[in-house]
Structure 1
Amino acid sequence: MTTSYDSPVVIDRREGPHGEVVLRRHGTLLQIIANGCFLMDTSDGRSERLLVDAARDALDERPEPSVLIGGLGVGFSLAHAAADARWGRITVVERERAVIDWHRDGPLSTLSAPALADPRTEIVEADLVAYVNETSATYDALCLDIDNGPGWTVTEGNDSLYSKAGLAACARVLKPGGVLAVWSAQPSPDFEGTLRNAGFLGVRTEEVPVARGVPDVVHLAVRPG
């Protein structure tokens, strides 16, 4: 029987601690769906690459900076960071075991295999909200890509991460002068204000043009030195 790719085809479906996670194929694209909410696919990756590059460029050429990436997703952010020899330690926090498995020995390994084999890379299976509150590690950059944006979270518990208290926890894992970069599917002027109220400096937003609709954006902010 010939498979038609006119409609999405489910490759794997898992029940995790936070609900259902699905990997599906739609034509040539791989898509991740969480609790019925589309998260991302393998169509582009420009905004994920900007997320990593903007954080790196804001670090004023400090040698071999470390980066914490919140969310593995389809692997664009990790792959792009690992392809840049300027980065030092690269840590990715991903709460869904299914997503990690899809990268290690599943369909998404075609995107992330070189990055996972890189000795600089570490994958931590944990909830990012808990991780930033509990870890003793610190980083030069923190790149957040676990939701569709500060105002469009995947799960209710993620809301706290974008509050003043949650951003204070993000600042705690950043070294002085470290950079916070937050991906969003749409601009959020209110979030810029929250970043400033949380004590961050140099708050700005970079847009990523898309084929149609409002642009993706990356919110950037610096922890005071």
Structure 2
Amino acid sequence: MIPWEHLDTASVPDDGGELRLMRRGAEYSIMSGAIELMNSRLSGSEAALATLAIARVGAAARVLIGGYGMGFTLRAALAALGPKAKVVVGELVPQVVDWARGPMAHLSAGCLEDPRVSVALGDVGLAIRAGAKAYDAILLDVDNGPEGLSRKGNDALYDRQGLAAARAALSKGGVLAVWSSAASEAFTRRLKQAGFAVEVVGVRAGGGKRGARHVIWLAVNP
């Protein structure tokens, strides 16, 4: 078997530990300690995060994506959106964007250079709080979901204050879509308490009929 090769290490701000970019043949992985946050072989649920949300808000939507990962959500969003759409990518770790333009450029397929896209480096929570009704869809794939694994500060995206800020940043009928590696009844309740109409969708990690199942919350701002 081909061994894993450690390509690079990035520090996560605010004492969030480190991310390691690993490669094994044509396969890439982003690790936080022993936890795999992203793998280039498994893109189905990350793409579904975009396609499910954009199907509800239309092809001319203003979209905020946090964070970039390996770009699967961004690429799916751009494929579903029209020429008048705007996409902001919020990414906390600058090296993740560097990796997308460097060793994983073939995965990004030029999506970061799309004229509809702008990159906001820093906490995506700042972009959420920046303006009322600024977005039609907010897509969050941060720290493996609401039950944070690698950075305590990410909890602020998913607590009551964070959800209230997300709802304020959405247009009427806008969608907050949240990816998670596992279900959370507590988070579903929190979304409903924040005033969202909530649908919970199970999707396969690889996009097929087999393999690990991930969870996407589709929370509509009434």
Q: Could you tell me how far 1:72 is from its partner in structure 2?
A: 0.3
Cα gap change, 1:89/1:191 in structure 2, threshold over 3 Å: closer, same or farther? same
Per-residue Cα deviation, 1:94-136 (whole angstroms, up to 9, x for no partner) = 01011011112x1121111321221001111011123323456
Q: Deviations over 1:154-212 (max 9, x none)?
A: 311111211111101111221111101000111222211110001112x0111113544
Matches within 5 A, 1:29-108: 29-59=27-57, 61=58, 64-86=60-82, 88-104=85-101, 106-108=102-104
1:142 aligns with 2:152: no
Query: How many residues end up aligned between the 2 structures?
Result: 215
Distance apart, 1:35 and its partner CA: 4.4
User: C-alpha separation between the residues in 2 aligned to 1:94 and 1:180?
Assistant: 17
Q: Would the aligned equivalents of 1:103 and 1:113 in 2 still touch at CA under 8 Å?
A: no
Q: Residues of 1 paired with 2:125 and 2:149: CA distance?
A: 13
Q: What is the one-letter code of the residue matched to 1:75? A: G
Q: Deviations over 1:120-153 (max 9, x none)?
A: 0111101112332345671100000012111244
Contact 2:144 2:181 in 1 (8 A): yes
Q: What SS does structure 2 have at the residue aligned with 1:150?
A: coil
Unmatched 5+ stretches in structure 1: none
Q: Does 1:12 align with 2:12?
A: no
Counterparts of 2:88 and 2:11, CA distance in 1: 25
Indicate if the aligned counterparts of 1:79 and 1:114 stay in contact, CA closer than 8 A: no
User: What is the rounded CA distance, in whole Å, between the counterparts of 1:173 and 1:150 in structure 2?
Assistant: 19
Q: Would the alpha carbon gap of residues 8 and 67 (structure 1) be closer, same or farther in structure 2, given more than 3 Å must change?
A: same
Name the counterpart of 1:157.
Answer: 153
Match for residue 127 of structure 1 among 118, 123, 133: 123
Structure 2 spans left out of the alignment, 5+ residues: none
**Tell me, what secondary structure is at the counterpart of 2:129?**
helix
Q: Which residue of 1 aligns with 2:22?
A: 24
Alignment equivalent of 1:208, drawn from 185, 188, 203? 203
Length-normalised TM-score, structure 1: 0.88
Shift of 1:57: 1.3
> CA contact under 8 A between 2:44 and 2:204: conserved in structure 1?
no
State the shift of 1:79 in Å.
1.2
1:217 is the counterpart of 2:212: no
- The CA deviation at 1:29 is 1.1
Alignment RMSD, CA only?
Answer: 1.9
Runs of 4+ more than 4 Å apart: none
Q: What CA distance in whole angstroms lies between the structure 1 residues aligned with 2:55 and 2:145? A: 22
Deviation at 1:27?
Answer: 3.3
2:179 to 183, 186, 194: 183
Aligned to 1:58, what secondary structure does the other structure show? helix
